[in-house]
Structure 1
Amino acid sequence: MLIADKLVFIEFRNTGASHVEKLLQKIFGGEVDNKHKAPGEDVLSSGRVVLGSVRDPWGWYLSLWSAGCAKQGDLYQRLTSDKAWVKIGEKLEANAKARTDQAPADQVKRVVLPDDLSAHRATSFWYADPDNVEAFREWLRVVCSLQTRRAVDPSMAKSPIGKIGGLMTYRYFLLYVRGAGQMPVTIGTQEGLRAFEASNAFVHHVVRHDSLTEDLVMALERSNISLSDEHRKMIYDTKAAGRPSRIERFYDESSMELVARREKFIIERFGYQRPHV
């Protein structure tokens, strides 16, 4: 998170946030503090403009996996730890009978998980080769499954957000929406999520990764923060890292649909379209 005199920028990992943060610091100064966390009430009540960033969920998950292949990120640390998988096997076995009793429509939506859910599987297969399409798709099924969300993020497993949305939606709410960590359990629908965000979001502008420079300039102008010609040129001339290469190769229809279902809130909130495969 960057805190400058006029603005605050909250860094959302894998959305081009590092690029925006560096640009804003060059232009406005400020200090980077508590990266990847929401600001405290002292900052929110200071009158500063609060900016954030987002990207299409399909690109976000591929970027998140690629970071793990480079042994980076908190999700990589969790999934490659034996501790993350304690009791997961027992819980899945306990749910097996309930799975057979479900209606056909529910069975269609259930993610088929691999037989081996372990830290060894994570290190030896999921994160072993950044070019392995099948490894990515299996990893994605695990990360997007309701059954394994405790291993993916224990806090998400306790939140009603984890039942309605995926990891990206959960992180979005924690970063940009006041009270998301204590969201009422009575919120159980997409409509409920939208209403909660509308009432509690404290971020003023969200910059989209796919139109980063245009969104950033527009956000600053709408916030009455003036830019010199030099600074404007700096923003337009400095490009962020693009969408992970070969995204269409890594996804198939099934994995596309899985992300579309779990990240419905983000997709509808920012008008993202499913990439073609």
Structure 2
Amino acid sequence: MHAFHSLAYLDVEKSGSTYVSQFLRDFLDDDEVSFRKHVEVEDRPPAGRLHVVSVRDPLDSYLSLYSYGCQGKGGLSGTMRDAGLGHLYDGTAAGFDRWLDVVLDPASADALNPRSYARTGVAPHTGLLSFRVARLTVPRALRWLRRVGSSEELVAGYRELSVVDVVLRNESMTQDLAALVRRDDLAWRPSRDAALAALAAQARLNTSSRLDADAGFAVPADAWERVAARERLLTEVFGYGAHLTSTSRDSHATSAA
């Protein structure tokens, strides 16, 4: 979590969080209170503070995580390699297909990162990416997640308990950040216009080198359906009802939770 007095950014992994945190440091006219990457919101968040989260299409996220892991990077790659699953990171489409099967299987939760995914016992009811969002955005999230008994309960509980006020979607990050800058309840330095100008000059948000950018890497035809079946929080709450990718086309999204 990246906290200021007026705003807290809930930095979901691989959603553009490094870029967003740097933008806030550069332009938000407020004192930084704390910065601990990918840490849960406080048990009792301060009243009146705006809570912002960034999210990403779940299939796009899994492709990015796989590509990152093939470079030997990332916490997920580390825990999977420690569990003897390093052979899945072979950089091929077939390897991604096998890797995705493992990551989506609740029985593999002990091999995934963060470890709290397995410890809460919620893996049968939600995929890893939806868990990562829920963990960061609900006060006392791990206590709540231990009580979740179905994917329907997870979605309903998130709608009731989440502190999120503003959503930044990776696929429309520049537009969504511009909408954040235009809010009347936040101040920007040296000015709002300067922050907007910086966004206008910013090229497409840089994503990690992606294996599926290679024409020879064919994403499995059923990959989206498999992912969507496990990531209901992202599909139902955040509008990812169809595959959107920052590497192939832009989408138009709002910045309202």
TM-score by length of 2: 0.81
Structure 1 residues 209 and 223 mapped into 2: Cα distance closer, same or farther (>3 Å)? Answer: farther
The 5 Å alignment of 1:213-228 reads 213-222=174-183, 224-227=185-188, 228=192
**Residue 179, structure 1, aligned to residue 140, structure 2:** yes
Provide the aligned C-alpha RMSD in A: 2.5
In the alignment, which residue of structure 2 is the partner of 1:127? 89
In the alignment, which residue of structure 2 is the partner of 1:38? 40
In the alignment, which residue of structure 2 is the partner of 1:253? 221
**Residue 237, structure 1, aligned to residue 201, structure 2:** yes
Find the aligned partners of 1:169 and 1:258 in 2 and give their Cα distance: 14
The runs of at least 4 consecutive aligned structure 1 residues that moved more than 6 Å come to none
**Which AA in structure 1 matches 2:197?**
K
Structure number with bigger Rg: 1
Identity %: 26
Structure 1 residues 194 and 49 mapped into 2: Cα distance closer, same or farther (>3 Å)? Answer: same
Shift of 1:265: 1.9
Find the aligned partners of 2:127 and 2:231 in 1 and give their Cα distance: 6
Q: Which runs of 5+ in 2 are unaligned?
A: 245-257
For residue 182 of structure 2, give the secondary structure of its aligned residue in structure 1.
helix
Aligned counterpart for 1:143 among listed residues 98, 103, 106: 103
Find the aligned partners of 1:188 and 1:54 in 2 and give their Cα distance: 24
Shift of 1:5: 3.6
The 5 Å alignment of 1:48-67 reads 48-67=49-68
In the alignment, which residue of structure 1 is the partner of 2:255? none
In the alignment, which residue of structure 1 is the partner of 2:112? 152
In the alignment, which residue of structure 1 is the partner of 2:251? none
Contact persistence 2:59–2:223 (CA under 8 A): no
Structure 1 residues 162 and 77 mapped into 2: Cα distance closer, same or farther (>3 Å)? Answer: same
1:97-139 per-residue CA deviation (whole Å, 9 max, x = no partner) reads xxxxxxxxxxxxxxxxxxxxxx2x41xx32243xx11111111
Shift of 1:53: 0.3
In the alignment, which residue of structure 1 is the partner of 2:149? 188
Find the aligned partners of 2:6 and 2:146 in 1 and give their Cα distance: 36
For residue 39 of structure 2, give the secondary structure of its aligned residue in structure 1.
coil
TM-score by length of 1: 0.75
Shift of 1:222: 4.1
Find the aligned partners of 2:232 and 2:5 in 1 and give their Cα distance: 35
Shift of 1:261: 0.7
Q: Which runs of 5+ in 1 are unaligned?
A: 85-118
Structure 1 residues 185 and 6 mapped into 2: Cα distance closer, same or farther (>3 Å)? Answer: closer
**Which AA in structure 1 matches 2:35?**
D
In the alignment, which residue of structure 1 is the partner of 2:233? 265
**Residue 209, structure 1, aligned to residue 170, structure 2:** yes
Find the aligned partners of 1:176 and 1:203 in 2 and give their Cα distance: 6
Shift of 1:190: 3.1
Shift of 1:45: 1.2
For residue 72 of structure 1, give the secondary structure of its aligned residue in structure 2.
coil
Find the aligned partners of 2:67 and 2:38 in 1 and give their Cα distance: 18
Aligned counterpart for 2:127 among listed residues 138, 145, 166: 166
Find the aligned partners of 2:173 and 2:222 in 1 and give their Cα distance: 29
For residue 80 of structure 1, give the secondary structure of its aligned residue in structure 2.
helix
Structure 1 residues 250 and 13 mapped into 2: Cα distance closer, same or farther (>3 Å)? Answer: farther
Shift of 1:69: 1.4
Structure 1 residues 185 and 50 mapped into 2: Cα distance closer, same or farther (>3 Å)? Answer: closer
Contact persistence 2:14–2:64 (CA under 8 A): yes
Contact persistence 2:2–2:8 (CA under 8 A): yes
